[in-house]
């Protein structure tokens, strides 16, 4: 049997490094956090070869005296914890980024580390640690005001096995940049710069004042995000949730751009991500993710950060409260933003719009289906081509039907002017035009209405005069019949009609005239994808999008003026109608100013 022995210091530190220093980005994180704890207002970072060959972090914090510097590389030595009069060390009252006293000795045990620090008194010292071997402290020439400059060369040279786990320089650079961005978002009052392999990656200036946070967001996530985000700020039970949450129309394919902070510490927390997913569930398809930066501030005693050596996970005393607050704050913001679609979509549309290559004549406009104009065929049937009064009578909707003084112009979605391609409604507002995707809008309306009717009890059904018999595969009929009660609660009343057939007795009233047979067939198809354990109301968005596909306002159906205006008014009255169930916008607005820009009038 092997005898128990105490491990040498170097080995102990390398074991700790295994947990805390996973890759170059972890070194950057630890050094920058130390700089923040030292009260720095400017932190400059230089890395080479993805941080593998060199990392330099320089700060203008308070620096270290000679004695502090010697202690800083000792394990379990920290200036960030203190004991009360009874000698108790409170691990639940942490207001600094660091507190474990192990980052520097860990880094020093696996790399070549040089620390230069100038204390506020003016003295400056230098210390080197190579693979855990500590050299003597040397005085060095002062390098300006107080501050610390730490250089790490040849990371992991002392533990070559680790090198094999490193990714390409590009991937390591991205991880470094991501780490820094998170820290920079948490501290808009501090300036940051990153130079990577001699190239400037970014420079963020220190900001002050109440817009500091938003300014930093703009620097880090781009101006586009700042313009497409809602500002949140909620306090309940001494927990504050604030930050910036992207509109649902500003979605991404991964949750990589969800930044969470607890008491200014960047964290990756399942609870917080789950809360965000829950809040956006109704607005985004499952594979799309919002962009946001959320800050949780609470009494340090309400949260334990001593959970993981890298301190990226936290444990809340009252997780339910924090989750509820986040979901509440986001939902509240989303309800307010229901009528705001992403501005970048209007920008995108503007970018796509080009002056036509040829001058369109009337027939091209007609062929493109602009219904407000008399169509080519009307002229053919009516060779004189002048009798607009009879044309107008034959059209469901004719030019001039809505007068310029229409009160609807003042409403957010304006007055319907035309339907084009039997898919889009063109409406005029006081200062622009609105283009509505009638199908997407209707899908959202059906969903919101059904949710509301379900909450009130039951979705009203409209009985069919004669039940409609639909034949289908026996298995499909079985699938539908096993959900008879659930479907009835959604306003679709079906019953068995012999083997391989179903009788439809009633359809949801809110869908209006519809192709019930096709709806039932499509629902049978949907059920194939649904987990038997899930109720239909849990999959309501899918059910509703199938239903809306067969409702009266689907794409490709002509709408009369009244129907169009009714749809616009319904959208205005319905929360969240700015985007469809899958996060696509239901309408875009072009301001007159934008249109004027298109034509070079501005």
Ligand X SMILES: Nc1ncnc2c1ncn2[C@@H]1O[C@H](COP(=O)(O)OP(=O)(O)OP(=O)(O)O)[C@@H](O)[C@H]1O
The structure tokens listed for 471 are 């034949």
322 binds, among ligand X, Mg ion, none (CB under 5 to 8 A by kind): none
**Residue number, 98 or 333, with CB nearest to ligand X:** 98
CB of 99 to Mg ion, least distance (A): 8
- Compare residues 100 and 240 and give the one whose CB is closer to ligand X: 100
CA–CA separation, 160 vs 370, rounded Å? 70
Contacts of 507 (CB under 8 A, 6+ apart): 461, 462, 464, 491, 492, 493, 514, 516, 519
Q: Which does 50 bind (CB under 5 to 8 A by kind): Mg ion, ligand X, none?
A: none
Closest residue to Mg ion: CB criterion = 98
**Residue 72 vs 375, nearer CB to ligand X:** 72
Q: Give the one entry of Mg ion, ligand X, none that residue 75 binds, where binding means its C-beta sits below a cut-off of 5 to 8 angstroms depending on kind.
A: none
Residue 448 contact among Mg ion, ligand X, none, beta carbon within 5 to 8 Å by kind = none
**Residue recorded with tokens 């230089």:** 46
101-160 binders of Mg ion (CB under 5 A): 103
Site string for Mg ion, 72-111 (x = CB under 5 A): --------------------------x----x--------
Looking at beta carbons only, is 71 or 365 nearer to ligand X?
Answer: 71
Nearest Cα to 181, choosing from 225, 146, 145? Answer: 225
Q: Which does residue 292 bind out of Mg ion, ligand X, none, counting CB within 5 to 8 angstroms by kind?
A: none
Selection from Mg ion, ligand X, none that 490 binds (CB < 5 to 8 A by kind) is none
Distance of alpha carbon 483 from alpha carbon 490, whole angstroms = 11
Question: Considering the complex, what minimum distance in angstroms separates the CB of residue 31 from Mg ion?
Answer: 8
The entry of Mg ion, ligand X, none near residue 72 (CB within 5 to 8 angstroms by kind) is ligand X
Which CB, 100 or 362, lies closer to ligand X?
Answer: 100
Which residue's CB is nearer to ligand X, number 176 or number 561? 176
The answer to whether the beta carbons of residues 33 and 43 sit under 8 Å apart is: no
Identify what 118 binds: ligand X, Mg ion, none; CB under 5 to 8 Å per kind.
none
Q: Please, what is the minimum distance in Å from the beta carbon of residue 312 to ligand X?
A: 12
- 96's CB contacts (< 8 A; 6+ apart) are 37, 80
DSSP conformation class of 252? B
Task: Report helix, strand or coil for 562.
Answer: helix
Nearer to ligand X (CB atom), residue 99 or residue 225: 99
Query: Which residues, numbered 23-42, are part of the site for Mg ion (CB under 5 A)?
Result: 34
Cβ nearer to ligand X, comparing 72 with 428:
72
312 binds, among ligand X, Mg ion, none (CB under 5 to 8 A by kind): none
Q: How far is the CB of 91 from ligand X (least distance, A)?
A: 12
CB of 197 to Mg ion, least distance (A): 26
Structure tokens at 454: 């379900």
CB of 58 to ligand X, least distance (A): 9
Q: Which is nearer to ligand X, 23 or 339 (CB)?
A: 23
CB nearer to ligand X: pick between 48 and 59: 59
What's the rounded Cα separation, in Å, for the pair 162 and 164? 5
**Binding-site residue total for Mg ion (CB under 5 A)?**
3
The residue number with the shortest CB distance to ligand X is 98
CB of 105 to Mg ion, least distance (A): 10
CB nearer ligand X, residue 99 or residue 125: 99
Q: How many CB atoms lie within 10 A of CB 209?
A: 9
534, 405 in Cβ contact below 8 A? no
CB 484 within 8 A of CB 502: no
DSSP 357: S
Instruction: Please say whether the beta carbons of 474 and 481 come within 8 A.
Output: no
Helix axes 561-573, 438-455, angle to 10 degrees: 50
Compute the distance between CA of residue 160 and CA of residue 47 in angstroms, rounded to an integer. 20
Q: Alpha carbon of 48 to those of 91, 152, 167, 173: distances in Å?
A: 36, 11, 14, 9
| Closest-CA residue to 206 (of 95, 63, 40, 33) | 40
- Pick from 410, 433, 436, 413: nearest CA to 423: 436
Choose the contact partner of 441 out of ligand X, Mg ion, none; CB within 5 to 8 A by kind: none
Asked if residue 462 lies in contact with residue 509, where contact means CB atoms within 8 angstroms, the answer is: yes
Least distance CB 310 / Mg ion (angstroms)? 11
- Minimum separation from the CB atom of position 486 to Mg ion (A): 56
Cβ of residue 30: shortest distance to Mg ion, in angstroms?
5
The entry of Mg ion, ligand X, none near residue 100 (CB within 5 to 8 angstroms by kind) is ligand X
Write the DSSP symbol of residue 256: G
| DSSP secondary structure letters along 265-285 | EEE--HHHHHHHHHHHTTTS-
580 binds, among Mg ion, ligand X, none (CB under 5 to 8 A by kind): none
Smaller CB separation from ligand X, 44 or 437: 44
In the DSSP assignment, the letter for residue 165 is T
- Cα–Cα distance for residue pair 428/410, rounded to 1 Å: 9
Supply the minimum distance, in Å, between the C-beta of residue 26 and Mg ion. Answer: 11
Q: Smallest gap, in angstroms, from Cβ of residue 243 to Mg ion?
A: 25
Best CA proximity match to 99, nearest among 146, 161, 34, 152: 34
Q: How far is the CB of 81 from Mg ion (least distance, A)?
A: 12
Instruction: Give residues with Cβ within 8 angstroms of 390, minimum separation 6.
Output: 382
Q: Which is nearer to ligand X, 306 or 513 (CB)?
A: 306
Indicate which of Mg ion, ligand X, none lies near residue 191 (CB less than 5 to 8 Å, by partner kind): none
Which residues of the shown chain bind ligand X in the complex (CB under 6 A)?
30, 34-35, 38, 59, 61, 63-64, 72, 78-80, 98-104, 148
CB distance 156 to 53 below 8 Å: no
- 415 to each of 66, 159, 404, 444, how far by Cα in Å? 75, 71, 9, 20
- The site for Mg ion (CB under 5 A) is made up of 34, 98, 103
């Amino acid at each position: 049997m092997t005898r128990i022995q105490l491990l040498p210091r170097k080995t102990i530190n390398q074991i700790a490094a295994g947990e805390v220093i996973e890759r170059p980005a972890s070194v950057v994180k630890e050094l920058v956090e130390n700089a923040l704890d030292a009260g720095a207002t400017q932190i400059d970072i230089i890395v080479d070869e993805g941080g593998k060959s060199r990392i330099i972090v320089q700060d203008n914090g308070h620096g270290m005296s000679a004695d502090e510097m010697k202690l800083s590389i000792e394990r379990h030595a920290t200036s960030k914890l203190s004991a009360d009069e009874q000698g108790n060390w409170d691990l639940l009252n942490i207001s600094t980024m660091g507190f474990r006293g192990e980052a520097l000795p860990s880094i020093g045990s696996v790399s070549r580390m040089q620390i230069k620090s100038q204390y506020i008194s003016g003295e400056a010292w230098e210390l080197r640690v190579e693979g855990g071997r500590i050299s003597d402290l040397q005085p060095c020439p002062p390098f300006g005001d107080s501050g610390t400059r730490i250089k790490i060369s040849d990371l992991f040279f002392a533990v070559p096995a680790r090198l094999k786990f490193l990714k390409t320089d590009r991937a390591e650079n991205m991880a470094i940049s991501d780490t820094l961005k998170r820290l920079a978002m948490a501290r808009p009052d501090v300036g940051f710069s990153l130079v990577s392999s001699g190239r400037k990656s970014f420079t963020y200036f220190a900001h002050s004042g109440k817009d500091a946070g938003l300014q930093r967001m703009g620097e880090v996530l781009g101006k586009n995000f700042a313009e497409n985000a809602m500002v949140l700020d909620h306090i309940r039970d001494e927990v504050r949730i604030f930050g910036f949450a992207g509109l649902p129309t500003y979605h991404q394919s991964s949750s990589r751009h969800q930044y969470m902070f607890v008491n200014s510490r960047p964290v990756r927390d399942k609870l917080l991500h789950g809360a965000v997913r829950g809040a956006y569930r109704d607005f985004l398809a499952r594979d799309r993710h919002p962009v946001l930066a959320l800050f949780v501030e609470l009494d340090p005693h309400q949260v334990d950060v001593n959970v993981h050596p890298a301190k990226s996970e936290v444990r809340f005393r009252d997780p339910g409260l924090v989750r509820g607050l986040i979901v509440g704050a986001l939902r509240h913001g989303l309800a307010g933003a229901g009528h705001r679609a992403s501005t970048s979509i209007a920008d995108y549309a503007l970018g796509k719009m080009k002056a036509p290559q040829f001058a369109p004549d009337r027939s091209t406009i007609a062929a493109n289906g602009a219904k407000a104009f008399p169509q080519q065929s009307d002229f053919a049937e009516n060779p004189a081509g002048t009798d607009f009064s009879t044309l107008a009578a034959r059209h469901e909707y004719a030019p001039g039907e809505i007068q310029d003084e229409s009160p609807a112009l003042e409403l957010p979605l304006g007055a319907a002017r035309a339907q084009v391609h039997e898919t889009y409604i063109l409406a005029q507002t006081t200062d622009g035009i609105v283009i509505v995707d009638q199908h997407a809008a209707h899908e959202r309306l059906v969903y919101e209405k059904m949710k509301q009717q379900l909450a009130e009890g039951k979705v009203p059904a409209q009985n069919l005069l004669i039940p409609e018999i639909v034949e289908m595969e026996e298995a499909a009929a079985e699938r539908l019949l096993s959900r008879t009660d659930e479907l009835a609660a959604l306003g679709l009343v079906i019953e068995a009609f012999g083997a391989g057939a179903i009788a439809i007795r009633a359809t949801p009233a809110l869908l209006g005239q519809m192709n019930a047979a096709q709806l039932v067939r499509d629902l049978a198809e949907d059920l194939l994808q649904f987990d038997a354990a899930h109720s239909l109301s849990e999959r309501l968005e899918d059910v509703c999008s199938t239903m809306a596909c067969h409702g009266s306002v689907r794409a490709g159906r002509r709408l009369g003026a009244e129907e169009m205006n009714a749809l616009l008014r319904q959208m205005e009255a319905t929360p969240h109608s700015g985007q469809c169930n899958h996060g696509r916008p239901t309408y875009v607005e072009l301001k007159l100013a934008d249109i004027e820009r298109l034509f070079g009038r501005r």
